[in-house]
């Protein structure tokens, strides 16, 4: 005890306060940096998820292009799954020489009890899905057709990219049937049908 009192007596109070302030500032700085990195990581992951298309179409000529999104290992969730796809009238080598118009076809399998909607804006406020219908092929396999009546125009004057957001809801109520849906994969085919636009 005497040694401790002697040690404390020999401490320069001014130096002690100085080092105490430096230590506190250092600890606070570490906390702020850690918090910033955490927030930044969340922000960057969200930006990447919403701004990078899962499928990208480049229509530089008339015709049909097909892309596929594979829904694997998704589980019932309160929050929807959002998949982005884009349509551009140019690629790294060329640009469309004529005005184009295109429509979108989406066909899904029906392995999982999923609900779909399609939007043309990242805020998910402008829904463009008109209806969905169930059909079967010659083998009796069921498919869901997402029908979008909207026709989109792309002038050849500029490089244009349209973004679309496919929202997939997997109702949380299906969580009580994990064995039934375990390992199921849902396939989504997206078709872009492009024609020359001669309206102008």
Q: What is the DSSP letter of 111?
A: S
Terminal Cα distance for the chain, rounded:
96
In tens digits, the chain (200 residues) has pLDDT values of 555 455 445 555 545 455 445 554 445 444 433 443 433 332 322 233 345 899 999 999 999 999 999 998 889 999 999 999 999 999 999 999 999 999 999 999 999 999 999 999 999 999 999 999 999 999 999 999 999 999 999 999 999 999 999 999 999 998 887 777 778 899 999 999 999 998 86
- pTM as predicted: 0.72
Sign of CA dihedral 80, 181, 186, 142: negative
Residue with tokens 């869901």: 144
- Report d(CA 170, CA 189) in Å as an integer: 18
Phi/psi region, residue 27 (left: phi>0; alpha: psi -120 to 50; beta: rest), is alpha
């Amino acid at each position: 005890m005497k040694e401790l009192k002697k040690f404390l007596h020999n401490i320069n109070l001014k130096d002690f306060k100085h080092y105490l302030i430096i230590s506190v500032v250092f600890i606070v700085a570490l906390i702020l940096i850690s918090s910033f990195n955490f927030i930044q990581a969340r922000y960057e992951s969200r930006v990447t998820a919403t701004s990078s298309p899962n499928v990208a179409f480049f229509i530089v000529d008339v015709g049909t292009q097909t892309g596929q999104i594979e829904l694997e290992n998704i589980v019932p969730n309160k929050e929807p799954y959002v998949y982005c796809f884009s349509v551009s009238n140019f690629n790294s080598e060329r640009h469309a020489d004529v005005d184009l118009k295109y429509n979108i076809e989406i066909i899904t399998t029906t392995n999982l009890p999923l609900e779909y909607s399609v939007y043309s804006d990242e805020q998910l406020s402008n829904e463009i899905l008109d209806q969905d219908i169930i059909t079967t092929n010659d083998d009796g396999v069921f498919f869901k057709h997402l029908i979008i009546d909207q026709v989109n125009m792309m002038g050849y004057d500029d490089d244009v990219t349209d973004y679309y957001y496919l929202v997939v809801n997997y109702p949380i109520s299906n969580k009580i049937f994990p064995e039934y849906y375990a390992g199921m994969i849902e396939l989504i085919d997206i078709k872009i049908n492009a024609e020359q636009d001669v309206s102008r």
